Amino acid sequence: MARRRSEGWYSKPISGRLEESVGRRSLKIDVGSVNPQLDVLRIKIVLLGTKPPIWRRVLVPAEFTLAQFHDVVQAAMGWEDCHLHQFCIGKQRFGVPDPNERFLGGSLTLNEKNTRLANLLNTVGAKATYIYDLGDSWEHTLSVEKILPAELDVPYPLCIEGKLAAPREDCGGIPGFYHMLVALADPNHEDHEHMRDWIDSFDPEVFSIVAVNKKLRKIFRAPRKPNSAGAAKWKAIMAKPNMDDLRAAVEVLQAAFDPFPSKERQRIRPGQEVPLELSDRERELILEHAFADEALLGRLRVAPASNQRAVFHFTLDDLDDLAGCVAAEANHAKDKKLRKEWDRVFARIGDVLDSYVALDD
């Protein structure tokens, strides 16, 4: 099931120097001019070694932890989060600590769950490196381009731009990726048939920002954003020339920030199936082109009677898998019209997923 976002990204502001506890260690951090409660970072993600560059531009709350930002990078690039990863900032590594590291010598990996973007990437021009899959070694540069005030009606995080499709998982890193492209483009290449059998279809030119943001919405299903009354009250307080107690102002702000309304979801038993209605065209599209397990496709092969709606039943886990297959097709569709069709199917599945929650979630 999709991971749940933590209870929002508004908390007490911090400024100047502070110490952030990371396990048994303490890291000196400077927050710069970032206000974690009200600012978002515009960050450009570039996959190193690609020509022309494969990149994404995202808006991320400054208070996000590196663990949350890891989820953003995975969704934006189209990775499947099935390998190890780490962030490198200066000489320090952040990620999921290995308890055996302290016996191996060298620098320890600091816990990414305990470190916020506002603590590390807090000035325009700040950079970090994100490495995914320590075997294939997909290395990304992360660059803060702008620090912006959060807008009331924007559900962060948000991908706002990008170019080119990301490589497929486990293709052998940058050398393997370009070998794959050459083999796919040349029917006479000795690896052409093998590559076609492996990935079926792949267009390196195609990037679907709609699919990325649908995935981000699914991962971060319960975002918080300020209501207009709270924002107005905050601005009024901040406009006072002699404000002696900033803490009081922050408390007012936090009291005024409410979770934005979300659709009430029906609670169901784990493993219970839910209905997914598809048009004939959507059903045919999935059956003919989606690279999905037969266990998922099999139930779509039974066509409904001419006088019946095309309603099929899946568990939430099955719908998660089907949504991933559809998103992959949207990401690699060559034709714009076809891509829009895939995006509509993805949105339809997403609406169903947003309508239910398993009792053990």
pLDDT in the model for residue 139? 95
- Same domain membership, residue 250 and residue 119: no
Please report the pLDDT score of residue 200 as a whole number.
60
Mean pLDDT across 105-109: 72
- Cα gap 204→137, rounded to integer Å: 19
Residues 31 and 160 both lie in one domain: yes
177 domain-assigned:
no
- Over residues 91-103, the pLDDT tens digits come to 889 998 877 766 6
Pair (246, 313) in one structural domain: no
Helix, strand or coil, per DSSP, at residue 21: strand
Q: Is the pLDDT score of 198 beyond 80?
A: no
**Cα separation, 46 vs 129, whole angstroms:** 10
24-33, 75-84, 246-255: least confidently modelled range: 24-33
Q: Examine residue 104 and state whether it is found in any structural domain, yes or no.
A: yes
115 with 33, same domain: the answer is yes
For 86-133, give the DSSP string.
Answer: EEEETTEEEES--TTHHHH-SPPEEEGGG-BHHHHS-STT-EEEEEE-
Q: What is the pLDDT of residue 197?
A: 64
| Residues 346 and 327 sit within 8 Å (Cβ to Cβ) | yes
Residue 183 falls inside a structural domain: no
Whether the pLDDT of residue 229 is over 50: the answer is: no
**Mean pLDDT along residues 165-191:** 80
Cis peptide before 52 (omega within 30 of 0): yes
**Residues 36 and 120 grouped into a single domain:** yes
209 shares its domain with 237: no
Asked if the structure places residue 180 within a domain, the reply is no
- Do residues 253 and 314 both lie within one domain? no
Structure confidence at residue 173 (pLDDT) = 86
Torsion of CA 232, 233, 237, 240, to 10 degrees: 60
Give yes or no: residues 276 and 236 share one domain.
no
Mapped onto helix, strand or coil, the DSSP state of residue 172 is coil
The pLDDT assigned to 263 comes to 53
Assigned domain for 11 exists: no
C-alpha count within 13 angstroms, C-beta hemisphere, residue 204: 14
- What's the domain count of the chain? 3
Together in a domain, 255 and 142: no
161 within a domain of the structure (yes/no) = yes
Asked whether residue 61 is assigned to any structural domain, the reply reads yes
* pLDDT of 326 higher than 50: yes
Consecutive H or E run containing 56: strand 54-61
Return the closest-CA partner of residue 358 out of 275, 270, 274: 270
- Tokens representing 256? 């005024």
Is residue 208 located within the same domain as residue 72? yes
81: left (phi over 0), alpha (psi -120 to 50) or beta: left
Nearest to 253 by CA among 35, 2, 95: 35
Which is more confidently placed, 346 or 68? 68
| Model pLDDT for residues 204-214, shown as the tens digit of each residue | 778 889 889 98
**Would you say the C-alpha torsion 144, 120, 56, 218 has a positive or negative sign?**
negative
Q: How confident is the model at residue 20, as a pLDDT?
A: 35
How is residue 350 written in tokens? Answer: 């997403």
Instruction: Decide: 207 and 217 in contact? Cβ < 8 Å.
Output: no
Asked if the peptide bond before residue 187 counts as cis, ω within 30 degrees of 0, the response is no
Span 286-294, average pLDDT? 85
* pLDDT value at 251 more than 60: no
Average pLDDT on 323-346 reads: 79
Please tell me which residue, 259 or 293, carries the higher pLDDT value: 293
Q: Which domain holds residue 127?
A: 17-165+203-219
Please report whether residue 170 resides in a domain.
no
Question: Which CATH number is 134's domain given?
Answer: 3.10.290.30
What is the arithmetic mean of pLDDT over 353-360? 81
Separation between Cα atoms, residue 300 and residue 326, nearest integer Å: 14
Name the average pLDDT for the chain: 77
State the first-to-last Cα distance of the chain, in angstroms, to the nearest integer. 8
Between CA 50 and CA 269 the distance in angstroms is 45
160/44 same-domain check? yes
Same-domain status, 213 and 134? yes
